[in-house]
Amino acid sequence: MGFEGADPGTVRPGGRTARVRSAVLQAAGDALAEHGFAHLDLADIARRAEVGKTTVYRRWGTVTSLVADLLLDMAEQSLPRTETGSLLGDLKANARLVQRTLADPRQGALFKAVIAAATCEAKTAEALHRFYDIRVKEWAPCVQQAVDRGEVPEGTDVHEVIRAVSAPLYYRLLTSSDCLDAAAADQAAEAAVAAARAGAYLRGDEGRA
Amino acid sequence: MGFEGADPGTVRPGGRTARVRSAVLQAAGDALAEHGFAHLDLADIARRAEVGKTTVYRRWGTVTSLVADLLLDMAEQSLPRTETGSLLGDLKANARLVQRTLADPRQGALFKAVIAAATCEAKTAEALHRFYDIRVKEWAPCVQQAVDRGEVPEGTDVHEVIRAVSAPLYYRLLTSSDCLDAAAADQAAEAAVAAARAGAYLRGDEGRA
DNA sequence: CCCATAACGGGACTCCAGTTTCGTTAATCA
DNA sequence: TGATTAACGAAACTGGAGTCCCGTTATGGG
């Protein structure tokens, strides 16, 4: 009697278990980037990771659940942001980073696949949301600095400004066949700055026109 | 001899064939909205549509291919846009329309599923891109009118302004758990107008800051 | 109205994604 | 360092998604 063991991987997370996890997550990323989310099978991932397929099924069970764990892993690896001294410079740096990531064949495909997976299961969606919350929080300070400098009105929702930079890039990635170039990134940053200056992102009551 | 018949449904598209197609597309929409893109099986769709599953497999074959056809169908049904006389008014109307659609449980889930499907197959992605091209083209004239009025600088990429309205709403739908309310719609419209006025969407060379 | 055949539909069949079983390896603790 | 057992992995198994076969329905052309 007593408790049935908790999920596998939680009691002895060291050594082999950790090695298996990172090998599987690596393989999952590769497979997602290659085949996309739909045509994905866990046995293939197990083969790539040189791990028994039983193990993959036992620890993750479903593709979406594996993607959720992958997102947890991705959220932990954060690139430090650059600081240029001006809001436009900082946001352009951010936009270029996003643009380069999404335009990269492997990373771009991976992000598409991860977003697709998140639309299919609440738990995976939650992991994706957490991932973006972290990224947004990392970059928000540069907008706060602009507020402090007086470049942008007091009361601006700084997180929303960061999201405004990424949004058009993701929208283009998903809904159009246009290429994601540096010009698109710069445009996204410029638009966000212009809108922020005009008070479009004032928190609480909706700003004036 | 001669040609093997073209794809089923093209030679005798009337009567039964058309009835089957619309029943299946309807059922596909329901199933996508309910189960999401991942846990979808064509036999279930056939059952809902009261159609033989052989038929569904013969005419569409895969889920992504069926979604591509669904998108073709969705693209044909267009709502006429409203005209308010001001750019902000028109874009707010557009933003509210998008927001209401995405916030609606069935439609929102359907759009998520359709986007997920498009990330998995080129043909489906193309259908999705065409769908959005049509929607954008439908609304672009209101921006053009604003250019003519002098509300927005000459040389503005009018399609990009329309996309700028939708982008943050889709970005929020996919990457956050925040609710999509009317305030979000208005903010999207206001930001797009502010950025457009500031010349952030000038075509060709990247605009000034 | 009638014929030729496109398209549909039921049911049997296949094949592989996902499960179960049980023996092996190695992480943790004393 | 050795005992305990969590976690792994090979192989056999199973259910249902997707295919195939062939008889039936009804469209479109003459």
Provide the pLDDT for residue A207.
Answer: 45
Which residues does residue B156 pair with via DSSP β-bridges, in sequence order?
B202
In Å, how far are A143, A195, B178 from A84, measured between CA atoms?
12, 20, 30
pLDDT at position A3: 43
> Can you give the pLDDT at residue A21?
97
The alpha-carbon radius of gyration of chain A (Å, integer) is 20
Domains and their CATH numbers in chain B: 16-63 (1.10.10.60), 78-208 (1.10.357.10)
- For the segment A140-171, what is each residue's pLDDT rounded down to a tens digit? 999 999 999 999 999 999 999 999 999 999 99
Q: How far apart are CA A44 and CA A36, in angstroms?
A: 13
Alpha-carbon distances, residue A83 vs A79, A185, B193 (angstroms): 13, 17, 28
pLDDT bin (cut points 50, 70, 90) of residue B13 is confident
Structure-token match 């069935």, residue found: B106
pLDDT surpasses 60 at B43: yes
Confidence of residue B7 (pLDDT cuts 50, 70, 90): confident
Question: Which of B4-13, B63-72, B118-127 bottoms out in mean pLDDT, i.e. has the lowest?
Answer: B4-13
Residues 22-41 of B with CB under 7 A from strand D: 41
Provide the pLDDT for residue A5.
Answer: 58
pTM: 0.94
Alpha carbon B49 to its chain centroid, in Å, reads 23
CA distance A156 to A146: 10
Minimal CA–CA distance to B129: which of B170, B71, B192, B173?
Answer: B71
Q: Which nucleotides of C are covered by protein (CB under 7 A)?
A: 5-11, 16-21, 26-28
CA of B42 to C1' of D25 (A): 23
**How far from A199 is each of A185, A207, B193, B208, CA to CA, in Å?**
21, 6, 11, 19
- Please indicate whether, in this complex, the C-beta atoms of A120 and B38 are within 8 angstroms of each other: yes
d(CA A130, CA A124): 10
Q: What's the whole-number mean pLDDT along residues A27-46?
A: 95
pLDDT tens-place string over residues A170-199: 999 999 999 999 999 999 999 999 999 999
Helices (H) and strands (E) in chain B, counts: 9, 0
Give strand D nucleotides closer than 7 A to any protein Cβ.
6-11, 16-21, 26-28
Range B173-178 average pLDDT:
97
| Chain A residues close to B119, C-beta within 8 Å | 36-37, 112-113, 115-116, 174
Angstrom distances, CA of residue A51 to CA of A32, A45, B22: 17, 8, 46
Pairwise CA distance, residues B5 & B116, whole Å = 32
How far apart CA A8 and CA A58 sit, in angstroms, is: 7
- Give the closest residue to A176 by CA, choosing from B3, B137, B37, B16: B137
